[in-house]
């Protein structure tokens, strides 16, 4: 058995009022209406699975999703399972993603204990991220450093009117750009 990384993306089927409220704050209260065109939110579980190959690991996680309500409620969530970075809809060329996770979160160890209680030993590590998909008014150019600067301003709270999606005192965050580049947002 080899350790295989699998991503599970959990998205709401119903309107996401938290994302709507955050979009309103970014566009109106932070004055970014000319820069931010849209905002969506979902959860990404990064799971490490002991399996013979990626297909078996993906099948195991898919079975956990459909066989339990640990990760998603089928009445209100959509799920996608796959290899890291390939799960869910790929970023559009005018989107950037911000991944936010609590420092020292107990969610991963808690879900592992629950799975072990269900006699599922093959999932060996788990971490949940909130993924904010920010649709920009203009398509960013690869290598444009101002994109990361803008995302840092939008995402990392540094004051009452700067940042919204991540508190650097209790959370870590990273940006994923449409061309696949990633960068940590804390300085």
pLDDT value at position 159?
84
Query: Rounded to two decimals, what is the model's pTM?
Result: 0.90
Contact present, 105 and 112 (Cβ < 8 Å): no
What does the alpha-carbon distance between residue 52 and residue 61 come to, in Å, rounded to a whole number? Answer: 14
pLDDT tens digits along 129-145: 999 999 999 999 998 88
What's the whole-number mean pLDDT along residues 134-158? 92
Q: For all residues of the chain together, what is the average pLDDT? A: 92
DSSP, collapsed to helix, strand or coil, labels residue 104 as: coil
Q: Which residue carries 């993306």 as its tokens?
A: 9
pLDDT value at position 61?
96
Cβ partners under 8 Å of residue 120, min gap 6: 64
Q: Which residue carries 């101002």 as its tokens?
A: 146
What does the alpha-carbon distance between residue 44 and residue 117 come to, in Å, rounded to a whole number? Answer: 23
pLDDT value at position 186?
76
What does the alpha-carbon distance between residue 94 and residue 25 come to, in Å, rounded to a whole number? Answer: 20
Least confident of 5-9, 32-36, 90-94, 150-154: 90-94
% residues pLDDT > 90 (the chain): 82
Q: Which residue carries 């788990």 as its tokens?
A: 126
Task: Walk me through the domains of the chain, giving residue ranges and CATH numbers.
Answer: 2-184 (3.30.1280.10)
Cβ partners under 8 Å of residue 105, min gap 6: 127, 128
pLDDT value at position 40?
96
pLDDT tens digits along 60-117: 999 999 999 999 999 999 999 987 764 455 788 999 999 999 999 999 999 999 999 9
């Amino acid at each position: 058995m080899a350790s295989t990384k699998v991503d599970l993306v959990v998205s709401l089927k119903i309107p996401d009022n938290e994302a709507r409220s955050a979009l309103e704050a970014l566009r109106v209260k932070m004055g970014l209406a000319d820069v931010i065109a849209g905002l969506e939110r979902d959860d990404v579980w990064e799971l490490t699975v002991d399996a013979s190959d990626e297909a078996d690991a993906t099948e195991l996680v898919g079975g956990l999703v459909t066989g339990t309500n640990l990760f998603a409620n089928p009445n209100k969530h959509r799920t996608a399972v796959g290899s890291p970075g390939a799960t869910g809809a790929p970023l559009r060329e005018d989107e950037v993603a911000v991944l936010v996770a609590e420092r020292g979160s107990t969610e991963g160890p808690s879900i592992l204990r629950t799975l072990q209680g269900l006699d599922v030993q093959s999932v060996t590590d788990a971490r949940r991220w909130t993924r904010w998909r920010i649709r920009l008014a203009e398509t960013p150019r690869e290598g444009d450093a101002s994109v990361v600067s803008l995302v840092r301003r939008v995402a990392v709270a540094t004051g009452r009117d700067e940042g919204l999606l991540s508190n650097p005192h209790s959370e870590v965050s990273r940006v994923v750009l449409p061309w696949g580049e990633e960068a940590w947002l804390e300085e």
